[in-house]
Structure 1
C-alpha cells in the first residue's frame, strides 16, 4: 500500500497543471503526510506513526522570541518547548509570505512605543494559543506521539514596514529583503523523536522547503517518491543520527523580471538588489524600542545559547550594497564571522575565489530556472469584491494563461530600482 500511496503523492506534485500547482503544493504536503501515516497504520507497523503539528507564525521576527535572547517579548511556552526540543539556528525561509507558504506548504508596560507594545501583546497571545494546543495534546495522551514544528514564514516586518513592528535585531533589515533579517527564520522542533538532541542548538543548514520530505519520512513515507523536489529530508539531522546536513546552499531569491537575486553557499552570501521590489527604505538595523521614551532595548551577550550577538553597530559600517568595481548594487558577506552583515566584501580581492564559487552556483540556478506565469492584473480579483478576503474569482480555464502575457517584460515598472543597470 505504501507504494500506491507514494506514487499518488508523486503524481500530485509532478503531473499538475500550472494553474493548480500552487494549491496542490500547499494542500498536498499535509495530505501526503496523512496518507503515509494511514498506510503505515493499515500495514500494522509496530511503531505508531506520529501526529504532526506545524505552526507557521506570520512575519515573526528573530528578536521576537525569548529563546533568542529578547527580554522584551514574553514567550514562556515557546521558550520551554524550544529548550526541550531542538532549536534550528541556521534555518532559512523566503523573504516574503506567499513564496514561503507555497514552499511549505497582553500589553506590556516595559515598551514605551505603543505600536511595538501592541505587537508584543500579539506575540504573547500566540504563545498562549500554542500552550492550549500543547495542553490539549497532553490531556488526550497524544503529546508524546506528536511532532511539533514552529517556524516563521519570513523575517519580522520591522520598524513600521507593512505597518508592523516585529524585530530582527541584530540581524539586518526584515521582511521583503534578502538580508538575514528577512530570510533567517525562527524555528524549532519538539517531540520524543528528537530526544537525542533535546536542549541543543542546531547550526546545520535547513530551508523551509525541506519540511515536506522531512515530515513525509517521519510519517513513514518512502523518500524515493519525493526525491526530485529540490529539497532534502533532514530527519537524520534532527534526530541526531547524522549531524551533517545534506543541504549546502540556499537560493534566497531569483527574480526573472528584474536583476534582483541572492544565494547563500556555505558561509558566504551574495545578493544583488537585496531590496527586490520594495523601495529600499528598510535596509538597516532596527533595535526594538526600550522601556524609556526614545530608548532602545539593551542586548546582553550570552543571554541564551541560540542568541546572535554582534555588539554595537560599528561606526565604519558599510550601509551600501554596492560595488565600486562593477557599478552594480551587489554585496558579498562572510556570515560565519559577520552574521549581522556589517561588512560588504564584494570588492575585496581576498575573497575573489570564494565569490566566484558562489557566482557559479547562482549561474547554475539561473540556467535551469523556468519562467513563471505572470498574468495581467484582473480587477475582478480585487478582495474588495469579496468582503476584503482573497478569494477564487473565476472559472475561466485560461486563467492563469499558459504563457507569459505580452505586456510582461524583464523589467516591469515598480517601486524598486532593481533594473537600473539593464
Structure 2
C-alpha cells in the first residue's frame, strides 16, 4: 500500500504547488458526484468480502479512496433523503416516519437544501433518478428545490421497465406513469431499463457540462428497490444469466440489478475522465438504507453479517456500505472507522467547495468531516441519532462505541439474521479477482488520473479490513425487544452483529438513555398521512402522476396532462 500512498502524496504536493501559484479566484471548487443506491445491503458490494455479486467499478473507487465502514443512514427511504438534503436529523423536519406515498399531500418542509447551498458557491446542480420528497404541489419538485434540472421519478417505487407506480390506498387501485424531465412527462423512455435511462442522462449531463463551473450531480438510482408487484426486481436477461451459479432465483435476479448498478458507476466515472473532470472530483457512493431481504418490499438483498433489515434500527438497517473517492484525499487507500452520518455530507461538501461552514445555519445536525477525511484525522462526530419514530415508539442512538436500541422494531422479521452470506455454492461461485477491478472502466479511469493503481495484494488487504466478521454469532440474538420500553445495549465495536448481552456500566446506560430522551423531547411530530386517492388518481391526468394538488387548483398548467 506504500506505493499507492506515495503516489497520492506526490499528487497532493503538486496540487499544493498549483494552489500556491494561483489566485484563490482561479481555484475551481471540485465537482461533486453523489451516487445513491436504493435498498442495498452491506453484503451486496464485493469490497465487503462476498464473492457472490462482483462490483468491480464500485470496488475500484473503494480501493483507491476511502471505505467508510462506520457510515450511518436512516432505516428507510424518505428519512434518509431528507437527512441528506437538509443536513438535519429527520426528527427536525417531521420526516422520521413512513416514506411518502404518491397519493399523500406530504412534502419536505420549506428551506434551503444542499443544492441551494452549492448554487451559492457557483455550482451547476443536477438531479437524476428517485426524488421521494414530495410532489403533490409543484413547488415541492426538484427544480423548485435548488436543482437546475431533473430527470427521474418523483415517488418511491416504480416498475424497472415501465416507470409505472401501482398502489391501492383504501382499496382504490391507482396506477400511472411517473417519469418526468423537469416538468414534462418523459414518455420517450417507456419500456427502457431505468438504470440505463438514469445512467445515460448522467453521462449526457457530464459530457455537455460547462467545465468552467463546478458540477453537483445527485444520481439517485431506483436500483435495488423492489418495483412492479408482478416483478419486484428485474434486470435484462443477459445480465441475470451471468449469475447462474446463484441457486436462489430471486437472489440471482437481484445480482443482475446490482451488476447494472455497478456498470452505471463505471460509465459515470469514465464520462468524468473523458471531460477532464475526474482529477478535480469527489465521488461518494452509499445506499439510503439496508436491504429488505423479506417483507412487503423484499428485494433479496443481504445485510450479512449484520442483524436486521430495512425499516429496523439494527445495524443491517442503518449501517451502509459507503465510500468516498477523490484525488484531493490524503493517506489513501484506506478503510476508515471514522464515525459519519448521512447528514454530514451537506457541511462536508460545502467545506470541500470552499464555503465557510460557520455561515451555515446553526441548527444543522451534520458536521463537516472534510478535514478529517482529507488528513485521516479523528472524526469530529462522537454520536449519531439513528432515528426516533414516535408513532411506532422506537429509537436508537450510538455514542462512541456504545449503541442503544429501544422499542419494538418496524419489521418483526428483522429482529434476527437474514440474507445470503455470499458463500453458498463455493465450488461454483467465481473466485474474487482484483484484476477484474483494475480492468473495469472505473478502475482504468482512476488509475489514469492518479498515475498508478493500488496493487492486487493491497486490494485484498483492504477487502479483508473492510469485511465484518462475527464468528461467535448465535443463531438468534440474545437481546429481544418485545415492547416499547425494552432496550438492548451493545459495544458496537466489539459486537457489530448485536448478538451478545453485555454488562453495561451504569453510567454508560444512563448516558445513552438520557441522550436519546433529550432528542425525543426535541422531536417535531411526523406528518400525518393526508391521503387523497380520489384527487391524486392518475386516471384524472392521462394516467400520469402529476403535482395533483396544484393541478386540482388550476389544471391549465402545461404539466397537468388533463384528459380531454
Residue correspondences, number: 345
Q: Alpha-carbon deviation of 1:273?
A: 2.3
Aligned mate of 1:379, from 507, 512, 533:
533
Q: CA deviation at 1:263?
A: 1.0
Aligned to 2:470: 310
State which of 509, 513, 518 in structure 2 corresponds to 1:355.
Answer: 509
- CA offsets, 1:393-422, max 9 Å, x none? 203999xxxxxxxxxxxxxxxxxxxxxxxx
1:79 corresponds in structure 2 to 59
Alpha-carbon contact 1:110-1:290 (below 8 Å) kept: no
Cross-structure match for 2:518: 364
Q: Is the 8 A contact 1:77 1:130 kept in 2?
A: yes
Q: CA deviation at 1:321?
A: 2.5
Cα distance in 1 between the residues matched to 2:466 and 2:544: 38
Indicate if the aligned counterparts of 2:535 and 2:552 stay in contact, CA closer than 8 A.
no
Rounded to whole Å, the distance in 2 between the matches of 1:95 and 1:130 is 24
Whether 1:392 aligns to 2:547 is: yes
The alignment status of 1:335 with 2:489, answered yes or no, reads: no
Residues 45/95 of structure 1: CA separation in 2 closer, same or farther (3 Å cut): same
| Aligned partner of 1:182 among 310, 317, 337 | 317
Question: What TM-score comes out, normalization by structure 2 length?
Answer: 0.57
**2:285 aligns to what?**
150
Tell me if 1:225 matches 2:389: no
Secondary structure at the aligned position of 1:63 is classed as helix
Separation in 1 of the partners of 2:429 and 2:470? 16
Q: Is the 8 A contact 1:287 1:296 kept in 2?
A: no
The question of whether the paired residues in 2 share the 8 Å contact of 1:268 and 1:333 is answered with yes
Give yes or no for contact 1:322–1:331 (8 Å, CA) kept in 2: no
Q: Distance in 1 between matches of 2:397 and 2:61?
A: 31
1:343: Cα distance to partner? 1.5
- What does 1:19-418 align with in structure 2 at a 5 Å threshold? 45-105=25-85, 106-107=239-240, 108-159=243-294, 162-194=297-329, 196-228=330-362, 229-240=364-375, 243-276=377-410, 278=411, 280-288=412-420, 291-292=424-425, 304-314=464-474, 317-318=477-478, 320-322=480-482, 328-345=485-502, 348=503, 350-374=504-528, 376-380=530-534, 385=539, 391-395=546-550
SS in 2 for 1:110: coil
Give CA-to-partner distance per residue, 1:108-129, whole Å, 9 cap, x none: 1221001001111111111111
Q: Distance in 1 between matches of 2:41 and 2:318?
A: 10
Please tell me whether the aligned partners of residues 34 and 283 of structure 2 are also in contact (alpha carbons under 8 angstroms): yes
* SS of 2:387 mapped into structure 1: strand
Higher relative contact order (CA 8 A, sep 6+): 2
CA–CA distance in structure 1, aligned partners of residues 524 and 263 of structure 2: 42
Shift of 1:254: 1.2
Task: Spell out, residue by residue over 1:302-347, the C-alpha distance to the aligned partner (whole angstroms, 9 max, x if none).
Answer: 9522110111532574152359xxx9432111101110000244xx
Unpaired runs of 5+ residues, structure 1, are: 1-42, 399-422
Point out where structure 2 has 5 or more consecutive residues left out of the alignment: 1-22, 86-238, 432-459, 554-564
Q: TM-score, normalised by structure 1?
A: 0.75
Q: Deviations over 1:83-135 (max 9, x none)?
A: 00011110000000111011112221221001001111111111111111111
Contact persistence 2:312–2:409 (CA under 8 A):
yes
2: CA distance, partners of 1:122 / 1:291: 19
Query: Per the alignment, do residues 297 and 249 of structure 1 end up closer, same or farther by CA in structure 2, a change over 3 Å counting?
Result: farther
**8 Å Cα contact 1:381-1:393 kept in structure 2:** yes
Per-residue deviation, residues 176-209 of structure 1 (Å, max 9, x unmatched)? 1000000001111111111x13110110100001
Distance, in Å, in 2 between the alignment partners of 1:88 and 1:59 is 18
